Amino acid sequence: MGGYAAFVWPALGLAAVAMAVLYLQSHRSLRAREAELESLQAENSQESQQSHEA
Amino acid sequence: MHRFANPTRFMRYSAAVLPWAAWATAVLIVIGLYLALFVAPPDYQQGESVRIMFVHVPAAWMALFVYTGMAAASAMALIWKHPLSDIAARASAPIGACFTVIALATGSLWGKPMWGAWWVWDARLTSMLVLLFLYLGYMALADAFDDPARGAKAAAILALVGFVNVPIIKFSVDWWNTLHQPASVIKMGGPAIHLSMLAPLLIMVAGFTAYYIAVLIMRMRTEIITAKLRSLQMSRSERQS
Amino acid sequence: MTAFWCLVRRDLRLAFRRGGDSVNVMIFFLLTITLFPFGVGPEQAILMRIAPGVIWVAALLAAMLSLDGLFRGDFDDGSLDLMILGPLPLEMIVLAKCLAHWLATGLPLVIVAPLLAVLLSMDGEGFTTLIGAMLLGTPILSLVGAIGAGLTVSLRGGGVLISLLVLPLYIPVLIFGVGAVDAAVYGLAARPHILILGAMLIAALPLCAWASAAALRLSVE
Protein backbone atom coordinates (compact mmCIF):
# COMPACT_ATOMS: atom_id res chain seq x y z
CA MET A 1 0.00 0.00 0.00
CA GLY A 2 2.95 2.25 -0.51
CA GLY A 3 3.38 2.88 3.17
CA TYR A 4 -0.14 4.17 3.63
CA ALA A 5 -1.46 0.86 4.87
CA ALA A 6 -1.78 2.16 8.42
CA PHE A 7 -4.32 4.66 7.15
CA VAL A 8 -6.13 2.83 4.38
CA TRP A 9 -7.03 -0.35 6.23
CA PRO A 10 -8.33 1.31 9.41
CA ALA A 11 -10.38 3.67 7.26
CA LEU A 12 -11.97 0.85 5.30
CA GLY A 13 -12.31 -1.24 8.45
CA LEU A 14 -14.05 1.53 10.34
CA ALA A 15 -16.51 2.11 7.53
CA ALA A 16 -17.18 -1.61 7.24
CA VAL A 17 -17.72 -2.03 10.97
CA ALA A 18 -20.02 0.99 11.24
CA MET A 19 -22.17 -0.11 8.34
CA ALA A 20 -22.26 -3.71 9.51
CA VAL A 21 -23.26 -2.75 13.04
CA LEU A 22 -26.09 -0.54 11.77
CA TYR A 23 -27.28 -3.25 9.41
CA LEU A 24 -27.23 -5.99 12.05
CA GLN A 25 -28.88 -3.81 14.67
CA SER A 26 -31.68 -2.90 12.26
CA HIS A 27 -32.08 -6.54 11.26
CA ARG A 28 -32.14 -7.81 14.83
CA SER A 29 -34.63 -5.20 15.94
CA LEU A 30 -36.90 -6.06 13.01
CA ARG A 31 -36.81 -9.78 13.84
CA ALA A 32 -37.54 -9.05 17.50
CA ARG A 33 -40.60 -6.92 16.68
CA GLU A 34 -41.84 -9.48 14.18
CA ALA A 35 -41.57 -12.22 16.83
CA GLU A 36 -43.41 -10.07 19.36
CA LEU A 37 -46.16 -9.38 16.87
CA GLU A 38 -46.58 -13.05 16.05
CA SER A 39 -46.82 -14.08 19.69
CA LEU A 40 -49.26 -11.28 20.46
CA GLN A 41 -51.43 -12.19 17.49
CA ALA A 42 -51.32 -15.86 18.51
CA GLU A 43 -52.47 -14.94 22.02
CA ASN A 44 -55.25 -12.81 20.61
CA SER A 45 -56.57 -15.53 18.33
CA GLN A 46 -56.38 -18.02 21.24
CA GLU A 47 -58.43 -15.68 23.39
CA SER A 48 -61.05 -15.06 20.71
CA GLN A 49 -61.30 -18.82 20.14
CA GLN A 50 -61.88 -19.35 23.82
CA SER A 51 -64.51 -16.63 24.01
CA HIS A 52 -66.22 -18.13 20.94
CA GLU A 53 -66.34 -21.55 22.56
CA ALA A 54 -67.54 -20.09 25.85
CA MET B 1 -48.16 8.13 -4.92
CA HIS B 2 -51.15 7.35 -2.79
CA ARG B 3 -51.01 3.74 -3.85
CA PHE B 4 -47.97 3.47 -1.61
CA ALA B 5 -49.53 5.31 1.27
CA ASN B 6 -51.09 2.16 2.59
CA PRO B 7 -48.86 0.61 5.28
CA THR B 8 -50.06 -2.89 4.49
CA ARG B 9 -49.17 -2.43 0.84
CA PHE B 10 -45.82 -1.06 1.87
CA MET B 11 -45.18 -4.11 4.02
CA ARG B 12 -45.91 -6.37 1.07
CA TYR B 13 -43.78 -4.48 -1.45
CA SER B 14 -40.93 -3.93 0.97
CA ALA B 15 -40.82 -7.62 1.87
CA ALA B 16 -40.30 -8.37 -1.81
CA VAL B 17 -37.70 -5.64 -2.35
CA LEU B 18 -35.62 -6.20 0.76
CA PRO B 19 -33.72 -9.36 -0.28
CA TRP B 20 -32.86 -7.78 -3.64
CA ALA B 21 -31.57 -4.67 -1.95
CA ALA B 22 -29.53 -6.72 0.49
CA TRP B 23 -27.95 -8.81 -2.24
CA ALA B 24 -27.32 -5.79 -4.44
CA THR B 25 -25.56 -4.14 -1.52
CA ALA B 26 -23.22 -7.06 -1.01
CA VAL B 27 -22.46 -7.59 -4.69
CA LEU B 28 -21.93 -3.94 -5.57
CA ILE B 29 -19.75 -3.21 -2.58
CA VAL B 30 -17.60 -6.28 -3.14
CA ILE B 31 -17.10 -5.44 -6.81
CA GLY B 32 -16.53 -1.79 -6.01
CA LEU B 33 -13.96 -2.55 -3.33
CA TYR B 34 -12.15 -5.01 -5.56
CA LEU B 35 -11.88 -2.44 -8.33
CA ALA B 36 -10.97 0.27 -5.85
CA LEU B 37 -8.24 -1.67 -4.11
CA PHE B 38 -6.69 -3.79 -6.83
CA VAL B 39 -7.59 -2.37 -10.23
CA ALA B 40 -7.61 1.39 -9.89
CA PRO B 41 -4.13 2.90 -10.22
CA PRO B 42 -2.50 4.78 -7.34
CA ASP B 43 -2.82 8.53 -7.58
CA TYR B 44 -0.01 10.60 -9.05
CA GLN B 45 0.19 12.89 -6.05
CA GLN B 46 -1.41 10.98 -3.22
CA GLY B 47 -0.23 7.45 -3.88
CA GLU B 48 -2.04 4.54 -2.34
CA SER B 49 -3.86 6.65 0.23
CA VAL B 50 -6.29 7.64 -2.49
CA ARG B 51 -7.94 4.26 -1.93
CA ILE B 52 -9.65 5.85 1.03
CA MET B 53 -11.41 8.18 -1.38
CA PHE B 54 -13.48 5.25 -2.63
CA VAL B 55 -15.16 5.06 0.76
CA HIS B 56 -14.92 8.68 1.84
CA VAL B 57 -16.54 10.26 -1.21
CA PRO B 58 -19.51 7.86 -1.49
CA ALA B 59 -20.11 8.18 2.24
CA ALA B 60 -20.10 11.99 1.99
CA TRP B 61 -22.45 11.95 -0.98
CA MET B 62 -24.79 9.55 0.83
CA ALA B 63 -24.74 11.76 3.93
CA LEU B 64 -26.06 14.63 1.85
CA PHE B 65 -28.37 12.48 -0.23
CA VAL B 66 -30.01 10.94 2.83
CA TYR B 67 -30.53 14.34 4.40
CA THR B 68 -32.17 15.53 1.20
CA GLY B 69 -34.38 12.43 1.31
CA MET B 70 -35.27 13.18 4.92
CA ALA B 71 -36.20 16.73 4.01
CA ALA B 72 -38.31 15.57 1.08
CA ALA B 73 -40.06 12.97 3.26
CA SER B 74 -40.59 15.62 5.94
CA ALA B 75 -42.16 17.96 3.39
CA MET B 76 -44.49 15.19 2.26
CA ALA B 77 -45.40 14.42 5.85
CA LEU B 78 -46.17 18.04 6.71
CA ILE B 79 -47.78 19.23 3.50
CA TRP B 80 -49.57 16.18 2.13
CA LYS B 81 -49.79 14.30 5.43
CA HIS B 82 -48.51 11.17 3.71
CA PRO B 83 -48.62 8.55 6.48
CA LEU B 84 -45.43 6.71 5.64
CA SER B 85 -43.33 9.84 5.10
CA ASP B 86 -42.44 10.65 8.67
CA ILE B 87 -41.65 7.00 9.29
CA ALA B 88 -39.30 7.11 6.30
CA ALA B 89 -37.67 10.30 7.56
CA ARG B 90 -37.10 8.98 11.08
CA ALA B 91 -35.79 5.68 9.78
CA SER B 92 -33.34 7.47 7.48
CA ALA B 93 -31.74 9.62 10.15
CA PRO B 94 -29.44 7.08 11.83
CA ILE B 95 -28.30 5.83 8.41
CA GLY B 96 -27.41 9.33 7.30
CA ALA B 97 -25.66 10.03 10.58
CA CYS B 98 -23.66 6.81 10.17
CA PHE B 99 -22.53 7.88 6.69
CA THR B 100 -21.58 11.30 8.02
CA VAL B 101 -19.44 9.78 10.77
CA ILE B 102 -17.79 7.48 8.23
CA ALA B 103 -17.12 10.45 5.95
CA LEU B 104 -15.55 12.39 8.81
CA ALA B 105 -13.44 9.49 10.10
CA THR B 106 -12.21 8.41 6.67
CA GLY B 107 -11.62 12.04 5.78
CA SER B 108 -9.47 12.40 8.86
CA LEU B 109 -7.52 9.21 8.05
CA TRP B 110 -7.06 10.41 4.49
CA GLY B 111 -5.99 13.84 5.64
CA LYS B 112 -3.33 12.71 8.09
CA PRO B 113 -0.82 11.44 5.50
CA MET B 114 -1.76 14.30 3.16
CA TRP B 115 -1.79 17.31 5.45
CA GLY B 116 0.02 15.91 8.46
CA ALA B 117 -2.86 16.60 10.80
CA TRP B 118 -5.68 14.41 12.06
CA TRP B 119 -8.17 17.18 11.59
CA VAL B 120 -8.14 20.27 9.44
CA TRP B 121 -10.90 22.82 9.27
CA ASP B 122 -11.25 22.71 5.54
CA ALA B 123 -14.60 23.65 4.06
CA ARG B 124 -15.72 20.12 3.14
CA LEU B 125 -14.91 18.45 6.45
CA THR B 126 -16.31 21.36 8.44
CA SER B 127 -19.56 21.29 6.50
CA MET B 128 -19.77 17.53 7.11
CA LEU B 129 -19.33 18.17 10.82
CA VAL B 130 -22.18 20.68 10.85
CA LEU B 131 -24.29 18.18 8.90
CA LEU B 132 -23.61 15.65 11.66
CA PHE B 133 -24.93 18.14 14.21
CA LEU B 134 -28.05 18.59 12.10
CA TYR B 135 -28.59 14.83 12.09
CA LEU B 136 -27.98 14.51 15.82
CA GLY B 137 -30.33 17.38 16.58
CA TYR B 138 -33.00 15.77 14.44
CA MET B 139 -32.67 12.43 16.22
CA ALA B 140 -32.60 14.06 19.64
CA LEU B 141 -35.74 16.07 18.94
CA ALA B 142 -37.70 13.14 17.51
CA ASP B 143 -36.78 10.98 20.51
CA ALA B 144 -37.61 13.67 23.07
CA PHE B 145 -41.34 13.40 22.49
CA ASP B 146 -43.35 10.73 24.29
CA ASP B 147 -45.72 10.43 21.36
CA PRO B 148 -43.63 9.25 18.40
CA ALA B 149 -46.05 10.72 15.89
CA ARG B 150 -45.67 14.22 17.34
CA GLY B 151 -41.94 13.70 17.62
CA ALA B 152 -41.80 12.83 13.95
CA LYS B 153 -43.79 15.95 13.01
CA ALA B 154 -41.59 18.23 15.12
CA ALA B 155 -38.49 16.63 13.66
CA ALA B 156 -39.99 17.11 10.19
CA ILE B 157 -40.12 20.86 10.73
CA LEU B 158 -36.53 20.77 11.95
CA ALA B 159 -35.46 18.73 8.92
CA LEU B 160 -36.94 21.29 6.55
CA VAL B 161 -35.37 24.20 8.43
CA GLY B 162 -32.06 22.34 8.38
CA PHE B 163 -32.35 21.59 4.69
CA VAL B 164 -32.89 25.26 3.85
CA ASN B 165 -29.86 26.03 5.96
CA VAL B 166 -27.55 23.47 4.35
CA PRO B 167 -26.69 25.66 1.33
CA ILE B 168 -26.40 28.72 3.59
CA ILE B 169 -24.06 26.86 5.93
CA LYS B 170 -22.06 25.46 3.01
CA PHE B 171 -21.70 28.94 1.52
CA SER B 172 -20.73 30.46 4.88
CA VAL B 173 -18.19 27.73 5.63
CA ASP B 174 -16.66 28.02 2.16
CA TRP B 175 -16.39 31.77 2.63
CA TRP B 176 -14.90 31.38 6.10
CA ASN B 177 -12.42 28.88 4.79
CA THR B 178 -11.17 31.11 1.98
CA LEU B 179 -10.75 33.96 4.44
CA HIS B 180 -8.49 31.90 6.65
CA GLN B 181 -6.81 29.57 4.20
CA PRO B 182 -3.10 30.36 3.86
CA ALA B 183 -1.67 28.56 0.81
CA SER B 184 -3.27 26.01 -1.46
CA VAL B 185 -4.68 22.83 -0.02
CA ILE B 186 -4.68 19.56 -1.89
CA LYS B 187 -8.25 19.21 -3.05
CA MET B 188 -9.76 15.92 -2.08
CA GLY B 189 -10.40 13.85 -5.16
CA GLY B 190 -7.81 15.62 -7.27
CA PRO B 191 -8.46 17.44 -10.53
CA ALA B 192 -10.24 15.58 -13.34
CA ILE B 193 -11.10 12.04 -12.49
CA HIS B 194 -10.11 9.18 -14.75
CA LEU B 195 -12.51 6.40 -15.70
CA SER B 196 -10.44 3.79 -13.89
CA MET B 197 -11.16 5.73 -10.74
CA LEU B 198 -14.64 6.89 -11.66
CA ALA B 199 -16.03 3.40 -12.22
CA PRO B 200 -15.24 2.00 -8.75
CA LEU B 201 -16.44 5.28 -7.23
CA LEU B 202 -19.81 5.05 -8.94
CA ILE B 203 -20.14 1.36 -8.11
CA MET B 204 -19.46 2.13 -4.46
CA VAL B 205 -22.09 4.88 -4.57
CA ALA B 206 -24.55 2.41 -6.06
CA GLY B 207 -23.63 -0.12 -3.39
CA PHE B 208 -24.11 2.42 -0.63
CA THR B 209 -27.47 3.39 -2.09
CA ALA B 210 -28.58 -0.24 -2.12
CA TYR B 211 -27.40 -0.43 1.49
CA TYR B 212 -29.46 2.62 2.36
CA ILE B 213 -32.55 1.11 0.75
CA ALA B 214 -32.08 -2.19 2.56
CA VAL B 215 -31.55 -0.67 5.99
CA LEU B 216 -34.30 1.90 5.40
CA ILE B 217 -36.79 -0.85 4.59
CA MET B 218 -35.79 -2.80 7.68
CA ARG B 219 -36.15 0.21 9.92
CA MET B 220 -39.46 1.28 8.40
CA ARG B 221 -40.89 -2.22 8.77
CA THR B 222 -39.73 -2.21 12.39
CA GLU B 223 -41.43 1.11 12.99
CA ILE B 224 -44.71 0.00 11.39
CA ILE B 225 -44.73 -3.25 13.35
CA THR B 226 -43.96 -1.36 16.56
CA ALA B 227 -46.93 0.91 15.93
CA LYS B 228 -49.12 -2.12 15.35
CA LEU B 229 -47.82 -3.72 18.54
CA ARG B 230 -48.59 -0.59 20.49
CA SER B 231 -52.19 -0.42 19.31
CA LEU B 232 -52.69 -4.16 19.86
CA GLN B 233 -51.32 -3.94 23.38
CA MET B 234 -53.52 -0.97 24.15
CA SER B 235 -56.69 -2.66 22.92
CA ARG B 236 -55.72 -5.78 24.88
CA SER B 237 -55.39 -3.90 28.14
CA GLU B 238 -58.70 -2.16 27.39
CA ARG B 239 -60.45 -5.49 26.88
CA GLN B 240 -58.93 -7.01 29.98
CA SER B 241 -59.95 -4.13 32.24
CA MET C 1 -51.43 46.16 13.84
CA THR C 2 -52.26 47.43 17.29
CA ALA C 3 -52.64 43.86 18.51
CA PHE C 4 -49.04 43.32 17.42
CA TRP C 5 -47.73 46.28 19.39
CA CYS C 6 -49.92 45.34 22.33
CA LEU C 7 -48.22 41.99 22.47
CA VAL C 8 -44.77 43.57 22.16
CA ARG C 9 -45.52 45.97 24.98
CA ARG C 10 -46.96 43.21 27.12
CA ASP C 11 -43.94 40.98 26.69
CA LEU C 12 -41.59 43.87 27.39
CA ARG C 13 -43.50 44.73 30.51
CA LEU C 14 -43.27 41.13 31.69
CA ALA C 15 -39.56 41.03 30.93
CA PHE C 16 -39.05 44.29 32.72
CA ARG C 17 -40.98 43.11 35.76
CA ARG C 18 -38.99 39.94 35.98
CA GLY C 19 -35.87 41.94 35.24
CA GLY C 20 -33.82 38.84 35.82
CA ASP C 21 -33.66 37.72 32.23
CA SER C 22 -32.03 40.77 30.62
CA VAL C 23 -29.64 41.30 33.47
CA ASN C 24 -28.69 37.61 33.64
CA VAL C 25 -28.01 37.51 29.93
CA MET C 26 -25.67 40.48 30.21
CA ILE C 27 -23.90 39.04 33.21
CA PHE C 28 -23.46 35.73 31.41
CA PHE C 29 -22.07 37.60 28.42
CA LEU C 30 -19.60 39.43 30.63
CA LEU C 31 -18.62 36.29 32.55
CA THR C 32 -18.03 34.21 29.45
CA ILE C 33 -15.84 36.84 27.89
CA THR C 34 -13.92 37.15 31.15
CA LEU C 35 -13.18 33.44 31.09
CA PHE C 36 -11.12 33.71 27.96
CA PRO C 37 -8.17 35.65 29.33
CA PHE C 38 -8.03 33.06 32.09
CA GLY C 39 -8.07 30.38 29.46
CA VAL C 40 -5.62 31.74 26.89
CA GLY C 41 -3.50 34.09 28.98
CA PRO C 42 -3.56 37.88 29.28
CA GLU C 43 -1.21 38.55 26.39
CA GLN C 44 -2.70 41.43 24.43
CA ALA C 45 -1.71 40.21 21.01
CA ILE C 46 -3.60 36.95 21.43
CA LEU C 47 -6.66 38.59 22.97
CA MET C 48 -6.80 41.15 20.20
CA ARG C 49 -6.69 38.40 17.61
CA ILE C 50 -9.51 36.39 19.14
CA ALA C 51 -11.64 39.28 20.42
CA PRO C 52 -14.22 39.46 17.63
CA GLY C 53 -14.71 35.68 17.64
CA VAL C 54 -14.98 35.47 21.42
CA ILE C 55 -17.47 38.32 21.62
CA TRP C 56 -19.67 36.79 18.97
CA VAL C 57 -19.54 33.27 20.42
CA ALA C 58 -20.35 34.62 23.86
CA ALA C 59 -23.25 36.62 22.39
CA LEU C 60 -24.52 33.50 20.65
CA LEU C 61 -24.43 31.48 23.85
CA ALA C 62 -26.04 34.24 25.87
CA ALA C 63 -28.83 34.63 23.32
CA MET C 64 -29.34 30.90 23.29
CA LEU C 65 -29.69 30.66 27.06
CA SER C 66 -32.57 33.10 27.03
CA LEU C 67 -34.50 31.22 24.34
CA ASP C 68 -36.28 28.78 26.57
CA GLY C 69 -38.31 31.54 28.15
CA LEU C 70 -39.52 32.83 24.80
CA PHE C 71 -42.68 30.75 24.70
CA ARG C 72 -42.55 28.62 27.82
CA GLY C 73 -44.20 31.08 30.17
CA ASP C 74 -47.17 31.55 27.88
CA PHE C 75 -47.33 27.84 27.13
CA ASP C 76 -47.38 26.85 30.78
CA ASP C 77 -50.13 29.19 31.87
CA GLY C 78 -52.30 28.74 28.80
CA SER C 79 -51.85 32.24 27.39
CA LEU C 80 -50.41 30.77 24.22
CA ASP C 81 -53.64 28.88 23.51
CA LEU C 82 -55.61 32.10 24.02
CA MET C 83 -53.27 34.03 21.76
CA ILE C 84 -53.65 31.45 19.00
CA LEU C 85 -57.41 31.84 19.20
CA GLY C 86 -57.10 35.60 19.04
CA PRO C 87 -57.19 37.98 16.07
CA LEU C 88 -53.46 38.03 15.45
CA PRO C 89 -52.08 35.30 13.13
CA LEU C 90 -49.62 33.01 14.86
CA GLU C 91 -46.77 34.15 12.61
CA MET C 92 -47.31 37.72 13.77
CA ILE C 93 -47.47 36.56 17.37
CA VAL C 94 -44.09 34.93 16.86
CA LEU C 95 -42.65 38.11 15.35
CA ALA C 96 -44.03 40.22 18.16
CA LYS C 97 -42.55 37.96 20.81
CA CYS C 98 -39.24 37.83 18.94
CA LEU C 99 -39.13 41.60 18.80
CA ALA C 100 -39.80 41.88 22.51
CA HIS C 101 -37.25 39.13 23.20
CA TRP C 102 -34.64 40.93 21.15
CA LEU C 103 -35.32 44.28 22.80
CA ALA C 104 -35.04 42.67 26.22
CA THR C 105 -32.05 40.39 25.68
CA GLY C 106 -30.39 41.07 22.32
CA LEU C 107 -30.18 44.83 22.39
CA PRO C 108 -28.50 44.88 25.82
CA LEU C 109 -25.82 42.58 24.38
CA VAL C 110 -25.20 45.04 21.55
CA ILE C 111 -24.90 47.92 23.99
CA VAL C 112 -22.55 46.07 26.29
CA ALA C 113 -20.39 44.56 23.54
CA PRO C 114 -18.08 47.53 22.91
CA LEU C 115 -17.25 47.73 26.62
CA LEU C 116 -16.33 44.06 26.59
CA ALA C 117 -14.35 44.58 23.42
CA VAL C 118 -12.19 46.95 25.43
CA LEU C 119 -11.58 44.17 27.95
CA LEU C 120 -10.21 42.04 25.14
CA SER C 121 -8.07 44.87 23.74
CA MET C 122 -9.95 44.85 20.48
CA ASP C 123 -8.78 47.43 18.01
CA GLY C 124 -10.89 50.59 18.10
CA GLU C 125 -11.36 50.40 14.34
CA GLY C 126 -13.79 47.56 14.81
CA PHE C 127 -16.17 49.13 17.31
CA THR C 128 -18.74 50.67 14.98
CA THR C 129 -18.72 47.62 12.76
CA LEU C 130 -19.18 45.44 15.82
CA ILE C 131 -22.23 47.37 16.86
CA GLY C 132 -23.65 47.39 13.35
CA ALA C 133 -23.05 43.71 12.78
CA MET C 134 -24.55 42.81 16.13
CA LEU C 135 -27.57 45.01 15.49
CA LEU C 136 -28.21 42.90 12.42
CA GLY C 137 -27.09 39.60 13.87
CA THR C 138 -28.80 39.46 17.26
CA PRO C 139 -32.34 39.74 15.82
CA ILE C 140 -31.47 36.79 13.58
CA LEU C 141 -30.46 34.89 16.70
CA SER C 142 -33.84 35.61 18.29
CA LEU C 143 -35.71 34.64 15.14
CA VAL C 144 -33.86 31.38 14.48
CA GLY C 145 -33.98 30.63 18.19
CA ALA C 146 -37.75 30.99 18.09
CA ILE C 147 -37.87 27.91 15.88
CA GLY C 148 -35.98 25.88 18.46
CA ALA C 149 -38.06 27.32 21.27
CA GLY C 150 -41.29 26.52 19.43
CA LEU C 151 -40.24 22.93 18.77
CA THR C 152 -39.27 22.22 22.37
CA VAL C 153 -41.78 24.25 24.36
CA SER C 154 -43.94 21.23 25.14
CA LEU C 155 -41.00 19.12 26.27
CA ARG C 156 -39.98 18.92 29.90
CA GLY C 157 -36.20 19.14 29.62
CA GLY C 158 -36.36 21.45 26.60
CA GLY C 159 -33.52 23.79 27.54
CA VAL C 160 -30.45 21.79 26.57
CA LEU C 161 -32.11 20.40 23.49
CA ILE C 162 -32.62 23.92 22.14
CA SER C 163 -28.86 24.44 22.07
CA LEU C 164 -28.37 21.30 20.05
CA LEU C 165 -31.00 22.34 17.54
CA VAL C 166 -30.18 25.98 17.22
CA LEU C 167 -26.38 26.27 17.39
CA PRO C 168 -25.70 24.72 13.96
CA LEU C 169 -28.16 27.18 12.48
CA TYR C 170 -26.31 30.05 14.17
CA ILE C 171 -23.04 29.27 12.43
CA PRO C 172 -23.61 31.44 9.32
CA VAL C 173 -24.44 34.45 11.52
CA LEU C 174 -21.29 33.81 13.49
CA ILE C 175 -19.14 33.52 10.40
CA PHE C 176 -20.32 36.74 8.80
CA GLY C 177 -20.59 38.64 12.07
CA VAL C 178 -16.99 37.90 12.95
CA GLY C 179 -15.99 38.40 9.32
CA ALA C 180 -17.36 41.91 9.39
CA VAL C 181 -15.51 42.90 12.55
CA ASP C 182 -12.27 41.23 11.45
CA ALA C 183 -12.46 43.04 8.13
CA ALA C 184 -12.92 46.39 9.86
CA VAL C 185 -10.05 45.70 12.27
CA TYR C 186 -7.69 44.85 9.42
CA GLY C 187 -8.80 47.80 7.36
CA LEU C 188 -10.59 45.74 4.72
CA ALA C 189 -14.15 46.16 3.51
CA ALA C 190 -16.72 45.08 6.05
CA ARG C 191 -19.60 46.01 3.75
CA PRO C 192 -20.04 42.62 2.05
CA HIS C 193 -20.36 40.91 5.41
CA ILE C 194 -22.81 43.49 6.66
CA LEU C 195 -24.87 43.20 3.52
CA ILE C 196 -25.03 39.43 3.86
CA LEU C 197 -26.07 39.76 7.49
CA GLY C 198 -28.79 42.16 6.37
CA ALA C 199 -29.95 39.71 3.73
CA MET C 200 -30.06 36.91 6.29
CA LEU C 201 -32.15 39.08 8.60
CA ILE C 202 -34.62 39.92 5.86
CA ALA C 203 -34.89 36.27 4.85
CA ALA C 204 -35.21 35.14 8.45
CA LEU C 205 -38.20 37.35 9.18
CA PRO C 206 -40.80 35.45 7.15
CA LEU C 207 -39.10 32.04 7.18
CA CYS C 208 -38.52 31.82 10.92
CA ALA C 209 -41.97 33.22 11.68
CA TRP C 210 -43.51 30.54 9.50
CA ALA C 211 -41.41 27.67 10.89
CA SER C 212 -41.80 28.75 14.49
CA ALA C 213 -45.58 29.12 14.07
CA ALA C 214 -45.75 25.62 12.58
CA ALA C 215 -43.73 24.32 15.52
CA LEU C 216 -45.99 26.07 18.03
CA ARG C 217 -49.12 24.71 16.39
CA LEU C 218 -47.65 21.26 16.73
CA SER C 219 -46.62 21.76 20.36
CA VAL C 220 -49.93 23.17 21.43
CA GLU C 221 -52.27 20.56 19.97
* Cβ-defined contact of B56 to A3 (cutoff 8 Å): no
Q: What is the mean pLDDT of residues B22-41?
A: 88
ipTM, interface predicted TM-score of the complex: 0.87
B165 or B194, which is more confident? B165
| Domain ranges (residues) in chain B | 55-181+193-235
- Rounded CA-CA distance B94/A19 in Å is 11
Closest CA to B121 of C3, A14, C171, C7: C171
A33 vs B contacts (CB less than 8 Å): 222, 225-226, 229
Per-residue pLDDT band for B19 (boundaries 50, 70, 90) equals: very high
Q: Judge whether residue A1 has pLDDT over 70.
A: no
Closest residue, chain B, to A1 (C-alpha): B48
Measured between CA atoms, how close is B179 to chain A, in angstroms? 30
Q: Judge whether residue B44 has pLDDT over 90.
A: no
> What is the DSSP secondary structure assignment for residue C153, as one 8-state letter?
T
The yes-or-no reply on B/C contact (3 CB pairs or more, < 8 Å) is yes
pLDDT by residue (tens digit) across C144-187?
999 999 999 989 877 789 999 999 999 999 999 999 999 999 88
pLDDT by residue (tens digit) across B80-134?
888 899 899 999 999 999 999 999 999 988 888 877 888 888 888 888 999 999 9
pLDDT by residue (tens digit) across C33-67?
999 999 998 888 899 999 999 999 999 999 999 99
The whole-model pTM stands at: 0.89
Measured between CA atoms, how close is A52 to chain B, in angstroms? 15
The angle subtended at Cα C73 by Cα C72 and Cα C77, nearest 5°, is: 110
Residues 6+ apart with CB under 8 A from C76: none
pLDDT at C102: 95
- Rounded CA-CA distance C31/C162 in Å is 21
pLDDT at B134: 95
- Rounded CA-CA distance B49/A9 in Å is 10
Q: Judge whether residue B229 has pLDDT over 70.
A: yes
Q: What is the mean pLDDT of residues C66-81?
A: 90
pLDDT at B3: 54
Measured between CA atoms, how close is B100 to chain C, in angstroms? 15
pLDDT at B192: 56
Report helix, strand and coil shares of chain B as percent, to nearest 5. 85, 0, 15
Out of A15, A26, A36, closest to residue B219 by CB: A26
Q: Judge whether residue C130 has pLDDT over 70.
A: yes
* Cβ-defined contact of B179 to C179 (cutoff 8 Å): yes
Per-residue pLDDT band for A2 (boundaries 50, 70, 90) equals: low
Q: Judge whether residue B195 has pLDDT over 90.
A: no
CA B67 to chain centre: 6
Q: Judge whether residue A28 has pLDDT over 90.
A: yes
Q: For chain A, say whether B55 makes contact (Cβ under 8 Å).
A: yes
Out of B102, B218, B236, closest to residue A15 by CB: B102
pLDDT at C95: 96
Mutate to test the interface with A, among B25, B46, B98, B109 (most CBs of A within 10 A): B109
Percent of chain C whose pLDDT exceeds 90: 68
In residues, how long is chain A? 54
pLDDT by residue (tens digit) across C211-220?
999 999 998 8
Per-residue pLDDT band for B193 (boundaries 50, 70, 90) equals: low
Q: How many CB pairs under 8 A join B and C?
A: 69
Mutate to test the interface with B, among A7, A29, A31, A39 (most CBs of B within 10 A): A7
Q: Judge whether residue B182 has pLDDT over 60.
A: no
pLDDT at B183: 40
